[in-house]
Chains A and B, each alone.
Chain A
Amino acid sequence: MQTIGLPGTAAPHARKPGLWGWLLLAPMVLWLLLFVVVPTGILAVYSFCQRDDLGRVVFSFTWDNYVRVFDPIYLNILGRSVAYAGLTTIICVAVGYPVGWYIARRPAGLRNLLLLLVMIPFWTSFLIRTYAWIAILKNEGLLNGLLLSAGAITAPLELLYTPVAVVIGLVYAYLPFMILPVYGSAEKVDNALVEAAHDLGAGPVRAFSEVIIPLTLPGIAAGVLLVFVPAIGMFAITDLMGGARVPMIGNVIQNQFFKARNWPFGAALGVVFTLMFVFTYLAVQWHGRRSQR
């Protein structure tokens, strides 16, 4: 059975690694243990603790943090974060899929150049790129200046510090994470398959929906995970481009650790958030498997 998921998870004939295999795996296992398993464990423990007057974690068991997580305020914020992340993901698929597919169908030289262009922004600090967007979107910024001088608008558009700016920022930040996996799976699609679809009477639309989409589904699924999950937890963009007006769950968690000094509550939010990631992943996996049948 072919499974669909993140690239590398499709191992139809997985077998137990031998001694050499374990040796090769050891650095990764150690890394995962130290920087994934242990911190997650600490987070889980903290989430059942309390804080003292100074904000230090006190190891005395309580459910209070989880009770507070399910307060309507936080559920509402979580819901909003999911909605923003969902919208971001949809736009990223709509914009990133054609780009990824297009790049994958170019000749090798051009393809590498285009990939480079997609990745060049990563060479600059994320914050600097976000500030660049502020310069573009602000009232007296590039975009408004351009539109005003072109006569398209008479008064500057209110873009910065609005939800629109947040979505622009999120899409900008996560678009490469959609393009790259889509490219990865599109590149593997043999052009003969597309030709075969045309040959058998499928026009562009049918060929796309019947052959291209199913064959690039692993890339789409990976892209959705890579965009959706981190977008839920994003806080820098909502602060900088959204003017910190609309809190996202990432802002709330960050706030608990850095400002409110309520680590146990922050930890509880983090645990719930992590569980959400796991469920999203399982849902995508399950859906992928089902659509394989």
Chain B
Amino acid sequence: MIAPAQPMIDIRSVTKRFGDFTAVNDVSLAIGPAEFITLLGPSGCGKTTLLRMLSGFEHPDQGDIRIDGADVTHLAPYRRNVNQVFQSYALFPHLSVWDNIAFGLRMQKVPAEEQRRRIEEVIDLVALRGFEKRKPTQLSGGQRQRVALARAIVPRPSVLLLDEPLSALDAKLRHQMQLELKRLQKHLGMTFVFVTHDQEEALTMSDRIAVFNQGRLEQLGTAADIYHRPRTAFVADFIGEANLVDAELLQRNGNVGRVRLKGGLEIIVPLDQWPEGHAKAVVSIRPEKVHVSKQPIKAENVFSARVEEEVFQGALDRLTLVTDAGTRLHAIVANESALLEAIHEGDQVWCGLHMDDLVIVAAD
């Protein structure tokens, strides 16, 4: 997806430092209306700081931020048409569910009748009917989460910020909420900026994902983009799993080249992403893209290897392979049949790598 001409959020060359530490380093990012974008990265990568600059709790040292066309770089949080769902939910413990949800409308001095109508509506939307009079302490984690959501969307902000809102929920509820959030976002047509360190969450919900590392925007793209065409070793490693193998260019042939992987295995790879003028780079190989069979395989790269280790995981089998040349690769294969193709430790197997599945990323 390409950023539209009139973005809802326009972050331009924003830098934020805390003392000597640069939390956000020259980040530019345009987010479209009704887009669900995820800021993804490990803790300390700058994603939360960027979110706090959108909500107004922090202000950039350099650069500026526009929301819905207006410069909000130094605007106080209570003057922005932006609401946030906090990681801890931050529900007001002294107020009931109803009063928590009403808080933003009261601050906006929305007429009482309209307040009532909108709160009723959102309570139905997040399925909190019957809990209006409860205090936050009398709710389960999932219910609190929904109150926080309702409270943030009922003032109809142009942007909803979500700061790891699902991290406190157990796995099952988290999956369910991921889908609910996505559905809600579509229903509301609101711009969602979602912060998480959980790549699976990001892949499930996002229209686009912005991967952050050490204060920098590492890569921006759709889930499929990020997964299949990681641009850096960090992205390849952070999203899903990858064999990141050092490679040396041996021979160039147009868009295709022959490289020698660390350990000795030689394969053919696409060179369109090979760093200009470098003899060395890293090849990212997703373990599930390593085809393994006891029978010979058809692929651009075929070689044989020995199974050094096998970890049975039910639907999947995790293998550690050592090629004849001595290169070590991880592979994941589906357990299709228990009888015929069972692969065990010590087996000699055929391996295949399709050239399209190999991604060249810059060496760090």
Q: Please, what's the 1-or-0 string for A192-226, where 1 marks a CB less than 8 Å from any CB in chain B?
A: 11011111111100110011001100000000000
Determine if B93 and A215 form an interchain contact, defined as CB atoms under 8 angstroms apart.
yes
Interface check B12, CB cutoff 8 A: no
Interface check A190, CB cutoff 8 A: yes
Count of chain A residues with a beta carbon within 8 Å of a chain B beta carbon: 20
Determine if A199 and B84 form an interchain contact, defined as CB atoms under 8 angstroms apart.
yes
A127 to B83, CA, bound (A): 55
Interface check B140, CB cutoff 8 A: no
Chain A binding surface, main DSSP class: helix
Interface check A154, CB cutoff 8 A: no
A236 to B361, CA, bound (A): 80
Residue of A nearest to B151 (CB): A200
A200 to B148, CA, bound (A): 11
Q: Hey, which chain A residues are within 8 Å of B94, CB to CB?
A: 2, 214-215, 292
Once A192-B88, A206-B107, A210-B103 are accepted as A-B contacts, the answer to whether A199 and B93 lie under 8 Å apart by CB is: no
Residue of A nearest to B80 (CB): A199
Residue of B nearest to A213 (CB): B94
Determine if A196 and B78 form an interchain contact, defined as CB atoms under 8 angstroms apart.
no
Q: Hey, which chain B residues are within 8 Å of A195, CB to CB?
A: 55, 57, 77, 84, 86, 90
Count of chain B residues with a beta carbon within 8 Å of a chain A beta carbon: 26
Q: Hey, which chain B residues are within 8 Å of A215, CB to CB?
A: 92-94
A193 to B94, CA, bound (A): 11
Q: Hey, which chain A residues are within 8 Å of B78, CB to CB?
A: 198-203, 207
Interface check B215, CB cutoff 8 A: no
Once A201-B78, A202-B78 are accepted as A-B contacts, the answer to whether A196 and B107 lie under 8 Å apart by CB is: no
Interface check B32, CB cutoff 8 A: no
Q: How far is the CB of A127 from chain B (nearest CB, A)?
A: 42
A202 to B80, CA, bound (A): 11
Residue of A nearest to B106 (CB): A210
Q: Hey, which chain A residues are within 8 Å of B83, CB to CB?
A: 199-200
Residue of A nearest to B52 (CB): A195
Seed contacts A200-B78, A215-B93; 15 additional CB < 8 Å A-B pairs: A190-B90, A192-B88, A195-B57, A195-B77, A195-B84, A195-B86, A196-B90, A197-B103, A198-B77, A199-B55, A199-B77, A199-B78, A200-B104, A202-B103, A211-B92
Some 10 contacts from A to B, beta carbons below 8 A apart, are A2-B137, A192-B90, A193-B93, A197-B92, A199-B78, A199-B84, A200-B104, A200-B151, A202-B103, A215-B93
Residues of A within 8 A of B (CB): 2, 190, 192-193, 195-203, 206-207, 210-211, 214-215, 292
